Amino acid sequence: MLFYGRLFEIDPSTKVLFKGDMKEQGRKLMAMITAAVNGLNDLDRLVPVMQDLGRRHGGYGVQDNHYGSVASALLWTLEQGLGEAFTPEVKNAWTETYILLASVMKEAGAKVA
Ligand code: HEM
């Protein structure tokens, strides 16, 4: 909830895109992030999953610039939750992971939009 609150504050244009139950949405997002982090060492399997996800996001009306807003909100939320454990190294790892996932999703999403 912290994450979506922050996202809608820094980029109000994202709010209209979400039409379902936000608790359920949060669960799906966390499940997908967990799956993605666990899949980082097996990119051959992860990439097609993220491409499908990116194509669905194109259908939800998500634009490329929204990925930057989600990045900021996600990193901010992690910092709130992790406090001192959110070291520069941890921040870098999350940033790189997000950039990788978002670039795969954006590329696939652009092909349907
Ligand atoms: C790494 C980045 C992201 C991940 C892992 C992710 C994950 C997910 C997942 C798992 C779902 C559930 C539905 C499905 O599987 O198709 C979903 C739905 C959705 N996501 Fe994302 N997402 C990401 C980025 C974004 C961005 C940048 C936006 C733009 C604001 C966004 C907006 C939405 C919307 C609007 C829905 C559908 C909500 C509804 O049905 O009402 N997502 N996302």
Asked if residues 41 and 94 have their Cβ atoms less than 8 Å apart, the reply is: no
Q: How far is the CA of 29 from the centre of ligand 1 (A)?
A: 7
Stated pTM of the model? 0.94
Taking only the tens place, the pLDDT of each residue in 31-83 is 988 898 899 999 999 999 999 999 999 999 999 999 999 999 999 999 999 99
HSE-CB at 49 with a 13 A cutoff on CA atoms is 14
Q: What is d(CA 37, CA 106) in angstroms, rounded to the nearest whole number?
A: 18
Pocket test for ligand 1, best of 49, 50, 53, 65 (most atoms within 8 A of CB): 53
Nearest CA to ligand 1 atom 42: 57
